């Protein structure tokens, strides 16, 4: 192989500096300044196609409209079921729960505690305190168990006679899974593996004056405990903080209540003074805590007729809820901020 020849290119005026370049010959390299750089050669397999841009997420109103249209198609085609108690799961999940979910998420900003105490499957009895002038606490507990429980459990509420006598309200309550608060219905639901909710204070709790807030009323004769003993399901105490402040009841117009057949006609700082605007609940901060289950399967079903056992278990549930309420209240810094 011939050697490359070094040839002087030029010298400066004083001859003190000389620039050199390689002469032509095998193995000689082209001077970088002698021409444009060569374009890099890329193998065809190395050429990458531009990645497609991810499809934008549909807007919330588009998702809602799609779900509403799907619901309408199911209703028109009859592709839905209603159980023996009148519970229409498709209507509840598609219409009723979404209607109250903004109250749960945005208005009351409900936080749940102890959700792991609610079983994933099988029957159980949720026993909770009752308050708030209107039974919004029952609706918020229903949303909590449906949305925040890992298995999205449906709470089958036991309601008073008056609720089912109200036009529209009674029918919607049944569609949402509620039924009459009687022993046979409660036992059938729990025997079939349903999660049943009861509020033993009844109207005494929900209609108590604001000065008695978070003081539990009498729990009745313990019928809910008897039902749990007969079916062997656990009793789960549920404590709700925040509902007492949504409609602070400072008075009661008893003659008007008797006229309309209601247990009370509430007077709050805003109602009836502001008319329909006074019916807007105050945006208190809510906490719902599910306590440790109280087992009943260790007892014989015949023990449901033992008045002392029923009384002791009823008192245990009531005391658990009351102490939990006091603890939650001591940890709460502000009624509206939590």
Give pLDDT, residue 221.
84
Distances (CA, A) of 216 to 201, 322, 325: 7, 7, 10
pLDDT in tens, 285-304: 999 999 999 999 999 999 99
- Bond preceding residue 272 cis, omega within 30 of 0: yes
Mean pLDDT for 318-334 is: 96
- Please give the angle made by the CA atoms of 258, 166 and 249, to the nearest 5 degrees: 55
Give pLDDT, residue 80.
87
Report the run of H or E that residue 237 belongs to, with start and end. Answer: strand 235-241
Instruction: Please state, in angstroms and rounded to a whole number, the distance separating the CA atoms of residues 244 and 284.
Output: 9
Mean pLDDT for 147-165 is: 95
Chain-centroid distance, C-alpha 84: 27
Q: Which of 20-29, 129-138, 159-168 has the lowest mean pLDDT?
A: 20-29
CA torsion sign, 274 to 277 to 283 to 288?
positive
Q: What CATH code is assigned to 69-246+281-331?
A: 3.40.1130.10
3-class SS shares of the chain: helix, strand, coil, % to 5: 40, 15, 45
Mean pLDDT for 189-208 is: 96
- pLDDT over 60 at 119, yes or no: yes
pLDDT in tens, 244-256: 999 999 999 999 9
Using DSSP's 3-state secondary structure scheme, residue 308 falls into: helix
Give pLDDT, residue 110.
98
Q: Which of 116, 129, 169 is nearest to 286 (CA)?
A: 129
- pLDDT over 80 at 275, yes or no: yes
What does the block give as tokens for 220? 């009745």
Contact 127, 135 (CB under 8 A): no
Instruction: Please state, in angstroms and rounded to a whole number, the distance separating the CA atoms of residues 95 and 106.
Output: 18
- pLDDT over 50 at 6, yes or no: no
Instruction: Please state, in angstroms and rounded to a whole number, the distance separating the CA atoms of residues 92 and 71.
Output: 11
Instruction: Please state, in angstroms and rounded to a whole number, the distance separating the CA atoms of residues 19 and 170.
Output: 103
Give pLDDT, residue 62.
79
pLDDT in tens, 48-59: 666 666 666 777
- pLDDT over 80 at 148, yes or no: yes
Give pLDDT, residue 61.
77
Around 180, how many Cα atoms within 13 Å sit in the side-chain half-sphere?
A: 9
Query: Percent of the chain having pLDDT more than 70?
Result: 83
When the pLDDT of each residue in the chain is averaged and rounded to a whole number, the result is 87
Give pLDDT, residue 54.
64
Report the run of H or E that residue 289 belongs to, with start and end. Answer: strand 287-290
Instruction: Please state, in angstroms and rounded to a whole number, the distance separating the CA atoms of residues 200 and 216.
Output: 10
């Amino acid at each position: 192989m011939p050697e490359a020849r070094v040839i002087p290119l030029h010298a400066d005026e004083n001859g003190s500096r000389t620039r050199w370049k390689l002469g032509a010959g095998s193995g000689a390299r082209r001077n970088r300044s002698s021409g444009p750089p060569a374009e890099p050669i890329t193998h065809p397999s190395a050429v990458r196609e531009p990645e497609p841009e991810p499809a934008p997420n549909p807007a919330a109103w588009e998702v809602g409209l799609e779900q509403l249209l799907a619901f309408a198609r199911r209703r028109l085609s009859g592709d839905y079921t209603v159980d023996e108690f009148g519970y229409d799961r498709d209507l509840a999940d598609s219409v009723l729960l979404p209607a109250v979910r903004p109250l749960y998420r945005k208005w009351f900003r409900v936080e749940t505690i102890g959700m792991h105490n609610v079983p994933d499957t099988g029957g159980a009895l949720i026993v909770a305190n009752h308050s708030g002038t209107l039974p919004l606490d029952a609706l918020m507990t229903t949303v909590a168990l449906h949305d925040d429980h890992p298995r999205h459990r449906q709470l089958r509420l036991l309601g008073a006679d008056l609720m089912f006598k109200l036009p529209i309200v009674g029918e919607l309550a049944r569609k949402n899974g509620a039924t009459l608060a009687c022993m046979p219905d409660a036992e059938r639901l729990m025997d079939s593996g349903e999660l049943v909710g009861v509020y033993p204070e009844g109207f005494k709790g929900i209609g108590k004056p604001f000065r008695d807030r978070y003081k539990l009323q009498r729990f009745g004769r313990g019928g809910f405990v008897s039902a749990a003993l007969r079916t062997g399901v656990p009793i789960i105490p549920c404590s709700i903080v925040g509902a007492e402040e949504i409609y602070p009841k400072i008075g009661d117009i008893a003659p008007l209540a008797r006229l309309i057949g209601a247990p009370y006609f509430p007077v709050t700082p805003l109602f009836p003074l502001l008319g329909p605007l006074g019916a807007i609940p105050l945006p208190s901060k809510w906490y719902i805590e599910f306590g440790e289950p109280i087992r009943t399967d260790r007892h014989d079903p015949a023990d449901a007729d033992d008045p002392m056992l029923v009384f002791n278990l009823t008192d245990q549930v009531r005391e658990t809820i009351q102490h939990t309420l006091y603890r939650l209240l001591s940890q709460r810094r502000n009624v509206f901020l939590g």
